Amino acid sequence: MEKKDKNQRSENYHAQLTVAEQLIDHSEETHEDHTDYSELEKAEILKRAEEFIYSPDVRKAQETLNRLRDAMDAKILAERPEQIKAWVDEGNDARDFKPAPDEAKQALNSVFLKFKERREEERKRAEEEKLTNLKKKQAVLEDIRELAESEEQANSLNKMRDLMKMWREIRQVPKEFQDELYTRYKFYVDKFYDNLSLYNELKELDREKNLEFKIELIKKTEALGEEKDIRKALNTLNKIHEDWRNAGPVRREISDELWHRFKNVSDVIIQRNKERQEELDRKRQENLNIKQLLVEKSEAAIAVWPTAGKEWSSLGKELDTLLEQWKKTGAVPAQKNQEIWDRFSSARQQFFAARREFFKNINADREENLKRKIELCEKAEALINNEQFQETSDKLNELQEQWKKTGPVPEAKNDEVWKRFRAAFDHFYARKNAWLKQRREDDKIGIAVKEAIIADMKKLLEIENADSVFPKLKECQQRWAGSGFVSGKAYFNLQKEYREIGDVLFAKFKRNSDNMKQQVMKEHYAGVAGRSDGKNQLQSEERKVKDRIKKAQEELATIENNKSFFALSKNAEAVLKQFDTNIQKLQEQIARLEKELAVIRNTKPGNAQ
């Protein structure tokens, strides 16, 4: 059973690269761009952006274009006060000012459009190329099948070599067809080599060449350990695995050992990237925390608007300082980048909008604004002891938005009314923080329970008997349903891990590799039976398999006889162990051939054995 499992793993090694492919998709550009684009003029920003339209490194190009766009927006916002001042100096009313469309920004938008169109064109080309490759591989596979089923000739081995070379030269196909193509390819190649007898020396020579080729692939994989660019290393690793799976067979007695050496080297590369990616994710999360703090400082800075020109100037400088700190902070997780920037940028945009509003309404009735803010204080104070914390937070945030939109109040009352408003917030959030602390304690208990259930489910992976696994799995599911609720990121992580382990358990007992091979074999002989000379071909196949069974049985009897001869010899332990290994291999071969013989007989017209 253990040997069969090892064979399954070696033959299904394509699945081993799933984690590598996920890491490639997950990993972002590894070279951080520390260029300070804020110092560039708009024309230079546009020129830099145009250089990235056809960049081969799409991820880096997208990241850089986003930073250039942010720099352009910052430049435009910085020019706005001077534009307003020039407008007023010309004798116009500041309230009538409307910024003209910025030509540089419009040109930058065109660059983004071209970049997007180029990426879409490349994606379509790649998909079309994969479909073309699929048709090519299907044609080569049909030629391999015909050669494997035809009578052996002097040039059969050379034909097979040429077809295998053609197969290797055809690269990517759509993912949904990869496993099926490889299963059929390996079935017919193995069938051809198993049937090849007249030119046995050439067959063994071919297998030796395949061995040399696979050893060279292992060396190339080992060399990837020196590659500093993890993304490049993983892409190269995938290509090496593609070459491995397309290579011909080697001697069966070294096949597993060779694969495990190859897999172990591959695992080192994959693990190295996982650790690197985890460190990168950790750093970017730290950067996100820093930028969230800058956002909160920006929002706090504009929570109450200035009431004098000098105060507006001071607030502008404070926001500019926060912007400089933002620029010096590194990248954040990609999925949060736009969201956090929009929030930070929104505070600045609100500032510029409010400053314009201030100068438009400098002579507005401040007493009316004071009444409105007192009403907001009263509404906030009515909420401070509410137990619905999230709902109350939303209401207080809404009140804060209304406060921001309310104009200045008389100077003598400004600090008083603001401190009253903030006191209500401070009281409520002190209560909310205490509640959150207690909830985190409750979460720890719930997390421990769920982690224990997951640990029990992982133990089920070691059991091979489905009848004993599923009752225990059902029990775990019932425990999970009653394990309570945890909040935040822990909930999603635990739920994801629980679901993934469940999927693995169900998949493990649903259909294994042997079933797939048996189905391919049945489909093959059913196709043979449907031909005009199918009956004769099936009889020929039955005779070949019976001969191979007979030959294996004779070889088994010889080895068992030799084993008994050496049984009483001194220091014969190593020899007897080799005999046992060969006996096991022959017994497995005979069992496999008997299954194939049963399929042939059941496929023959009129038979239902």
Residue 303, pLDDT > 70, answer: yes
Res. 196 pLDDT band, cuts 50 70 90: low
Task: For residue range 169-186, list pLDDT tens digits in order.
Answer: 888 888 888 888 888 888
DSSP 487: -
Residue 198, pLDDT > 50, answer: no
Q: Which pairs from 281-290 meet CB under 8 Å and 24+ separation?
A: 281/333, 283/330, 284/330, 284/331, 284/332, 284/333, 285/332, 285/333, 287/329, 287/330, 287/331, 287/332, 288/332, 288/333, 288/336, 288/340, 290/329
Which pLDDT score is estimated for 377?
Answer: 92
User: Region 192-202: what's the mean pLDDT?
Assistant: 64
480's tokens: 């999970």
Better pLDDT: 488 or 70? 70
Other CB atoms within a 10 A radius of the CB of residue 541 amount to 22
Res. 132 pLDDT band, cuts 50 70 90: very high
Using a pLDDT cut of 70, give the percent of the chain over it.
84
* CA distance to 600, 601, 607, per residue, from 526 (Å): 9, 11, 13
Gyration radius (Cα) of the chain, Å:
36
Nearest to 57 by CA among 67, 65, 47, 69: 65
Q: Which helix H or strand E contains 458, and what residues bound it?
A: helix 411-460
Other CB atoms within a 10 A radius of the CB of residue 524 amount to 22
Mean of all residue pLDDT scores within the chain: 79
341's tokens: 């920037």
CB 344 within 8 A of CB 298: yes
Task: For residue range 33-49, list pLDDT tens digits in order.
Answer: 546 676 678 888 888 88
* CA distance to 48, 147, 152, 154, 372, per residue, from 158 (Å): 55, 11, 12, 9, 92
CB 148 within 8 A of CB 189: yes
**Rounded to two decimals, what is the model's pTM?**
0.38
124's tokens: 């379509």
3-state secondary structure of 447: helix
Q: Give the integer Cα–Cα distance in Å for 312 and 309.
A: 5
Domain boundary assignment for the chain: 1-18+224-363, 19-223, 365-506, 513-603
Contacts of 310 (CB under 8 A, 6+ apart): none
Other CB atoms within a 10 A radius of the CB of residue 469 amount to 19
Residue 139, pLDDT > 90, answer: yes
Helix (H) and strand (E) counts for the chain?
20, 0
Amino acid (one-letter) located at 255: S
Contacts of 345 (CB under 8 A, 6+ apart): 70, 73
Which pLDDT score is estimated for 194?
Answer: 73
Which pLDDT score is estimated for 398?
Answer: 92
What region does 53 belong to: left with phi over 0, alpha with psi -120 to 50, or beta?
A: alpha
511's tokens: 């259909």
Chain-centroid distance, C-alpha 221 = 22
Q: What is the DSSP string of 552-565?
A: HHHHHHHHHHHHHH
Res. 199 pLDDT band, cuts 50 70 90: low
Better pLDDT: 130 or 81? 130
Q: Which residues of 429-448 are buried (b: 16+ CB within 10 A; e: fewer)?
A: bebbeeeeeeeeeebeebbe
For tokens 């006996």, what's the residue? 583
3-state secondary structure of 444: helix
Task: For residue range 396-419, list pLDDT tens digits in order.
Answer: 899 889 998 887 787 778 889 899
Residue 20, pLDDT > 60, answer: no
Task: For residue range 547-564, list pLDDT tens digits in order.
Answer: 989 998 998 888 888 777
Res. 606 pLDDT band, cuts 50 70 90: low
Q: Give the integer Cα–Cα distance in Å for 179 and 511.
A: 14
Task: For residue range 340-357, list pLDDT tens digits in order.
Answer: 887 887 888 788 778 866
For tokens 């020039």, what's the residue? 86
Residue 428, pLDDT > 60, answer: yes
CB 376 within 8 A of CB 421: yes
Q: Which pairs from 214-219 meet CB under 8 Å and 24+ separation?
A: 214/244, 214/247, 214/250, 214/258, 214/262, 215/258, 217/243, 217/244, 217/247, 217/262, 218/258, 218/261, 218/262, 218/265
Res. 136 pLDDT band, cuts 50 70 90: very high
Task: For residue range 86-116, list pLDDT tens digits in order.
Answer: 888 888 877 788 888 888 888 888 888 888 8
Using a pLDDT cut of 90, give the percent of the chain over it.
5
Contacts of 256 (CB under 8 A, 6+ apart): 6, 7, 10
Task: For residue range 354-369, list pLDDT tens digits in order.
Answer: 886 676 665 456 778 8
User: Region 119-132: what's the mean pLDDT?
Assistant: 87
Other CB atoms within a 10 A radius of the CB of residue 470 amount to 14
Which pLDDT score is estimated for 311?
Answer: 86
296's tokens: 């909160």
Res. 135 pLDDT band, cuts 50 70 90: very high
Residue 274, pLDDT > 80, answer: no
Q: Give the integer Cα–Cα distance in Å for 158 and 352.
A: 77
Which pLDDT score is estimated for 350?
Answer: 83
Which pLDDT score is estimated for 362?
Answer: 58
